[in-house]
Amino acid sequence: MPDYEKEASRPNSRMTGWNVLAAPGTYLLVGINCAVYLWMVLNGVSPTDPTPMQLVHYGANVPVLVLHGQWYRLLTATFVHVGIIHIAVNMWCLWNLGLLGEPLLGPMGLVAVYVLTGIAGNLLSTGFSVVDALMRHGPMQIFVGAGASGAVFGIAGILIVLLSNRKLPIPWYELKRLRRSVIWFAVLNLVLGVGANFTSIVRVDNFAHLGGFLSGLAIGAPLLPRMTSGRIRYLQRQKVTFAAAAFGLALFGYWIAKLR
């Protein structure tokens, strides 16, 4: 059995009970998100209804601010949440998809996908704000975007691609069932997010969801042919793919800045 198949066939923490060492990337991401939420609450932010200014202070995405040099918000916004319900739902989704995806991607691969697709989602949202302002011939609308959901959609997107590999050491009927579940997750959450808002300017950012999902699909495509070619070759392809994705996002961000 190739090295990769041995890795993929190891039980994850849902099979063996709670064990952070079985899925360190998943628990690291969940831990960072929860730590940021607790940090906000301990510093006076409402645990259920934070204000837009509080979210902005802790790193939420505001396209106007991003285009004025605060590009770090594309990443920090993926760890900021709008209250206890928001983070609970996102962490439940992240935990389930992470435990499914980490045996296929590895701990660092899962973290890289989270970061890249999270940034991609917020970048698409920012780009849409610029295009919308240009089409209206007016100023950019002010809104605050926050949450891990763009990155969660990114993980869902890459899983849809990777779970289509018939050579994985998992029965094909089980792969189809898992893939169908991930597809339904993505479709239902995209539909439910349409028109939903937290407040007048803090809202569910469906462009971030879409951007995360599409970038996950795109990152998964070049990884699929190398999944069963040996662990070393697969990890090499991962590094190249992630570097290319980062470069592509940088170019997209540069284009958005110039478009403005």
Res 65 pLDDT > 60: yes
pLDDT in tens, 195-214: 455 544 555 678 899 999 99
Nearest to 52 by CA among 27, 80, 75, 28: 80
Res 33 pLDDT > 50: yes
Arithmetic mean of pLDDT over the chain: 86
Q: Where are the alpha helices (DSSP H) in the chain?
A: 3-8, 13-16, 24-42, 52-57, 63-66, 73-76, 84-105, 107-136, 149-162, 172-193, 206-223, 231-259
Compute the average pLDDT of residues 161-165.
Answer: 90
Higher pLDDT, 174 or 108: 108
Cα 219 to Cα 9, 71, 105, 162, distances in angstroms: 22, 22, 11, 10
Domain ranges of the chain: 3-259
Which 3 state secondary structure label does DSSP give 197? Answer: strand
Give the count of alpha carbons within 13 A of 66, CB side only. Answer: 33
Res 81 pLDDT > 90: yes
Q: How confident is the model at residue 17 (pLDDT cuts 50, 70, 90)?
A: low
For residue 184, what pLDDT is reported? 84
Structural tokens at position 90: 């996102």
Q: How confident is the model at residue 1 (pLDDT cuts 50, 70, 90)?
A: very low
Res 42 pLDDT > 90: yes
Res 14 pLDDT > 60: no
For residue 172, what pLDDT is reported? 80
Instruction: Please state, in angstroms and rounded to a whole number, the distance separating the CA atoms of residues 117 and 78.
Output: 10
Neighbours of 211 (CB within 10 A): 28
Share of the chain above pLDDT 90, in %: 60
Res 188 pLDDT > 80: no
Compute the average pLDDT of residues 128-134.
Answer: 87
Res 13 pLDDT > 50: no
- Phi then psi for residue 202, to 5 deg, are -105, 110
- Phi then psi for residue 125, to 5 deg, are -60, -45
Q: How confident is the model at residue 15 (pLDDT cuts 50, 70, 90)?
A: very low
Cα 78 to Cα 29, 93, 145, 180, distances in angstroms: 10, 14, 9, 26
Note the pTM of the prediction, 2 decimals: 0.88
Res 2 pLDDT > 50: no
CA 172, 175, 180, 186: dihedral to nearest 10 degrees? -150
Compute the average pLDDT of residues 143-155.
Answer: 93
The CATH number of 3-259 is which of 1.10.3720.10, 1.20.1540.10, 3.40.50.2300, 1.20.120.450? 1.20.1540.10
